[in-house]
Chain A
């Protein structure tokens, strides 16, 4: 069972994001880390491969400047190898271009299943996984919150607006998983050491036959209207009374 996992390497989310004032692209310099949302997909792949009795877990990623630190984290968790597409021409690529790049990278290795996060933490367009499935002409089950594999058929609980659907799907297929689908492992010391020597193939867009075009533009960026700051108090044992008074003023009670 060969599984390919799409992983994104993103700026540390504890510091607020910013846009480049000239290009309006998201600033992605400095150290990038593995998007937390992707650790669930990596864990799911490792578990499914182990249950299937073997096969390779391959990572695919697209990042500037040959950045691999986030990939190394996923390799340290136990993935076998990675394909990284890194090309200055891809700066500010839209979701469709990203999907084309990742789909081409996925095709470099045999796969039975492709796993991605439902959406990235920094860009959250949430369309890349299903775009990849359409490019690869395979079925997709997005928003998977529980995944089992039996007899070559995926059995997935797929989140819906009202609850969930039980979905069955033959392989090859793509799933996008929600956070919380499995509990990601922490890389072991041995894992971290061995990750350093695992193969990472680094490619440019042109090697994959992709010429990034641009079909959408950012026109302006402005600050949103700030909410006027309210009253902040420290509870001295009677804060509930202040809430009651506030609700009375609003005529909620």
Chain B
């Protein structure tokens, strides 16, 4: 290990610290002796899980209340940075992670390297890798100025591995009033209900795109996903069109998935989409346009009509059970 200290902004839901946050903690613990994790939750139990994944300290920001998490945590980090040497700070490429990284970047006058898919140590600094042009090229980048280096990292870039560490030491901080920047308030939270395996954890993902023709046809995707014990996903085009909620979106702005099998139904394969699913072990694509970019990464590509092929596939699978 070359680095002394890395901070990680960890996000939590009702079911605990998110898997993406655990990936970041695992990665940080490979690069630095001290890993300090920020959470915007007073939950004391988190010291065990973050400790197990390699964190040495858990910093709880206690006065988030109904304010936006990113804004509050950025201020907490800026306050604690004076008198503290931190080599790097890791964020997830989530809405909260981006908010926090962006606010902190201005406070420290340090740019953010975003969409990081890998990191390695080069001498005394971290260098990052970024997949560009839909993942066809990899750019390696690093900071030349003073620390800390701020990285916003894509989900599933690292493996979350428990190293059986001791519970992290817990420290509580409050940020107080944030002036005009802190004036946005959350008045209500809506959770979208989903049944079946989670999109970013399912062994099989079946996604639909514009080629489905109309919103009603998305039920074919759901049915096929269910029969294969998988999760349904979507391209940005049909999320923007309002066919399915954002939580279904696979791609640059949505979820990154790495299932055993990915089945793309009526998806042409825009850069935006491919970035989020290129890591699948096996890719099956069905599209009527033989020139669709998705075929360039498919293990099995079917040039044909999803409206004919998917119903037959569903029927065939049903008759097997």
Contacts and interface: CB of A to CB of B under 8 A. Distances in A.
Contact of B185 (A126, A164, A167): A167
B260 A252 contact: yes
Query: Which range contains the number of B residues in contact with the other chain?
Result: 35 or more
A160 to B, nearest CB: 6
A217 B187 contact: no
B300 A134 contact: no
B302 A169 contact: no
A242 B13 CA distance: 41
Contact of B112 (A13, A95, A158, A222): A95
Interface of B: 11, 13, 18, 68, 70-71, 74, 93-96, 98-99, 101-103, 105-107, 109-115, 127, 131-133, 135-145, 152, 179-192, 203-204, 228, 236, 239-242, 245-247, 252-253, 260-261, 263, 271-272, 278, 282-284, 286, 290, 295-305, 308-310, 312-313, 316-317, 320
B141 A99 contact: no
B232 to A, nearest CB: 16
Interface stretch (A66-74, A82-90, A232-240): A232-240
A119 B183 contact: no
A232 B297 contact: no
Contacts, number: 262
B240 A130 contact: no
A229 B294 CA distance: 11
Given A163-B189, A180-B240, A224-B135, A233 B184 contact: no
Interface in A30-71: none
8 contacts: A131-B106, A135-B106, A160-B95, A165-B189, A178-B253, A215-B110, A216-B143, A232-B303
Main secondary structure on B side of the interface with A: mixed
A125 B261 contact: no
B42 to A, nearest CB: 19
Main secondary structure on A side of the interface with B: mixed
A252 B183 contact: no
Query: Which range contains the number of A residues in contact with the other chain?
Result: 35 or more
A234 to B, nearest CB: 4
Contacts of B98: 126-127, 130, 142
Q: Which of B240, B278, B283 has the most CB of A within 10 A?
A: B240
A212 to B, nearest CB: 11
Interface in A68-106: 94-97, 99
Interface stretch (A107-115, A190-198, A243-251): A243-251
